[in-house]
Amino acid sequence: MTAPPPTPPASGRGEEASLADRLARAITLAGPIPIAQFMAAANAHYYATRDPLGAGGDFTTAPEISQMFGELLGLCAADLWDRAGRPHAAWVECGPGRGTLTADALRAAAKAGFAPPVHFVETSPVLRAEQARRVEGATWHDDVTTLPDGAPLIVVANEFFDALPIRQLVRAADGWAERFVACQDTLFLPVAGKPVPAEIIPAALRDAAPGSIIETSPASVAIFRALARRIAQQGGAMLTVDYGYEGPAIGDTLQAVRGHAYANPFESPGENDLTAHVDFATLAAAAMKEGARPSPVVTQGAFLRALGIDARAAALAKGAPARARGIVADRDRLTIEMGTLFKALAVTAPGWPLPAGFAS
């Protein structure tokens, strides 16, 4: 992917101040707001006003590291489509970044005869422009409710759910409370807010030590259920790759990244990328409630190796000896450095085969 010119500094700084001022004013007038509301507002502004990817941005995702990532996902999809009887399926990517993953995936899939129509779930006008440069003929959607009916869907969500808003529940001395964001002048900080019933806390975690934090993401569950429902009804599969864990678990995973370094998630709202780890166990359970079949959760490293990343890296290195060292380094970054923290989960419709790379 090619990075676009950065957002003009004057506009970005003006919008930053405006967003911070609006949040500060709202908190001053009505009191602290839930972390989910703060995160939603910050990320909505952040993604609407910039291309955050690459060396000139704030972070880099797997498709930007190497073409191998998208190619292997494309071949995985083509193999699944072939074993499902070659239906007239549509390709869907949620949060497609610059469109690199889809471009690489469909280039590889086309060699196996799979050339589906493309649908992107994306709200950022900046990123939509980048996607249009790389993928011709795509259709854009603001959310998953307008995806096509009838046809099976092959859905990919790479580092999509980690950016959706989370709730944080904190253990106080006298019970559990939701974590809110307060404001002193222009300083935002987390505080314990409204008490929550102990019944909503997983039984194994209710007696955690004071200060312990549990995270949930109702927004993620709602979107995942909507996609799983479509897949169960229309046929197809969904592949989710993200960093996370199989919960429930104790831990504060809310983080901010700016300029490829960690930042304070409560500073400069709208100017940092806010994310949190994904609870794959909760997403898998959500899929089952909609009649879809979740796979076992596997690590990204194991998944890519099962799809043949070693052979693909060797082939690329042989074809470009001058780049061989860099290709091997990219493979290691995807399978070792990112290989354990990042997980993969597949969801399939009843009667559809399990995608390659997942144990049955």
284-296 pLDDT, tens digit each: 999 999 999 999 9
Share of the chain above pLDDT 90, in %: 91
Q: Mean pLDDT, the chain, as a whole number?
A: 93
For the stretch 156-168, pLDDT in tens is 999 999 999 999 9
Average pLDDT in the 203-209 region?
A: 94
The amino acid occupying position 262 is: Y
Q: Residue 271 in contact with residue 12, Cβ under 8 Å?
A: yes
Helix (H) or strand (E) holding 305: helix 300-307
Q: What is the pLDDT of residue 18?
A: 80
Q: What is the DSSP letter of 326?
A: H
pLDDT classification of 360: cutoffs 50, 70, 90:
low
* CATH number, domain 9-166+215-348: 3.40.50.12710
- CA–CA distance, 20 with 303 (Å, rounded to integer): 41
- CA–CA distance, 51 with 133 (Å, rounded to integer): 14
Q: Is the pLDDT of residue 258 over 70?
A: yes
Q: What is the pLDDT of residue 15?
A: 44
**Structure token pair of residue 172:** 């106080």
Q: Is the pLDDT of residue 186 over 90?
A: no
- CA–CA distance, 308 with 304 (Å, rounded to integer): 6
67-81, 95-109, 156-170, 191-205: least confident range = 191-205
Residue 319's contacts (CB-CB under 8 Å, 6 or more residues apart) are: none
The predicted model scores a pTM of 0.92
Strand order in the sheet with 261-263: 261-263, 255-258, 273-275
Residue ranges of the domains in the chain?
Answer: 9-166+215-348
Average pLDDT in the 240-262 region?
A: 96
